Amino acid sequence: MKPKSPYLQYIVDYMLTRQYSLRTIETYLKWITSFIHFHQKRHPSSMGDSEVEIYLEYLVLTKNVSPRTQATALNSLSFLYKHIVKNELSQNLNFARSKRQPKLPVVMTKDEVKLLMTKLTKRYYLIAGLMYGSGLRVMESIQLRVQDIDFDYKCIRVWNGKGNKHRVVTLAVELIPALRNQILQVDEYLKLDLKNEQFSGVWMPYALAKKYPSANKTLAWQFLFPSHNLSNDPETGEIRRHHFHHTCIRKAVKAAVNAAGLTKQITPHTFRHSFAIHLLQAGADIRTVQIQLGHSDVQTTQIYTHVLQQGANGVTSPLSHL
């Protein structure tokens, strides 16, 4: 992540030193760059509320973005003006807000999940199994560490999920043999890396690197899905082994969907949607599903009950009585 602009590089460095995730940095940088280009590359310090309002309206009226996308753009610019420009935006910005209806979740049947997973390579089968079997998000899956898998209690500990929340989710016992084998592969990578004098250990979150200076070279802290290649830490330049990139998962799922001949708009997140629906169909209560998914508000989870109640499981079509 090396922007050509010194100003954008300063933003990256600022966020890295404050432990923002790489994905958050990429997202904020995308919207800040778009904002600057939209205003003919004017410097943000020469702009303010009115330029932000015009940009946010452009996103809605011209680009027809969703409310969530518009909110992400606003969050990015709010960060820019609060932490970089040091001139916070008004709390009462006046702009047209997106009214585009959110998409309903696409859900696979159990047979479709089974078929799709047979089309995934071994490298991605286990990740898909965790997304469907435990309701994990893509980033939550690839950021797992070896020590996050609890074989004794058959659960997974998710640290700093969306909203920086922690939670414990169920672990499908069917995945245990594959997980143990994956950990053996991680151990082989680690043994190889430890022979490299330049290897600085896996990246450790927050102040843990200082608190446990030797932990970054232990098996427990290694990423469960390590990258095939070593790379430079974008913050320090040190040689480390990171985890799979999330785009690899998306490409693998897309290829598997095509190979399976499925016509639904399926993405990696569809595994998580299917996890929630299939739990509810099996009799799980909404509160249990909410906790497993890590939703702060049960209303977010209730979208899945709406899918069930409004479809064949809840409403019988009058055509069926003819």
Q: Is 18 a catalytic residue?
A: no
Q: Beta 149-150 vs 231-232: how paired, if at all?
A: unpaired
Q: From the candidates 145, 240, 241, 295, give the one annotated as an active-site residue.
A: 295
Q: Is 28 a catalytic residue?
A: no
Q: Is 41 a catalytic residue?
A: no
CA distances from 153 to 108, 149, 235, 288 (A): 28, 9, 36, 17
Buried b (16+ CB within 10 A) or exposed e, 74-94: bebbbbbbeebbeeebeeeee
Q: From the candidates 119, 241, 272, 273, give the one annotated as an active-site residue.
A: 272
Under 8 Å between Cβ of 27 and 11 = no
Q: Is 272 a catalytic residue?
A: yes
Q: From the candidates 167, 217, 246, 269, give the one annotated as an active-site residue.
A: 269
Could you tell me the two tokens for 75? 């969050």
Q: From the candidates 137, 240, 241, 242, give the one annotated as an active-site residue.
A: 137
Q: From the candidates 55, 124, 132, 304, give the one annotated as an active-site residue.
A: 304
Residues 6+ apart with CB under 8 A from 43: 7, 36
Could you tell me the two tokens for 73? 């753009």
Q: Is 82 a catalytic residue?
A: no
Q: From the candidates 162, 191, 251, 254, give the one annotated as an active-site residue.
A: 162
Q: Give helix then strand counts, H and E, for the chain.
A: 13, 5
What residues are labeled active site? 137, 162, 269, 272, 295, 304
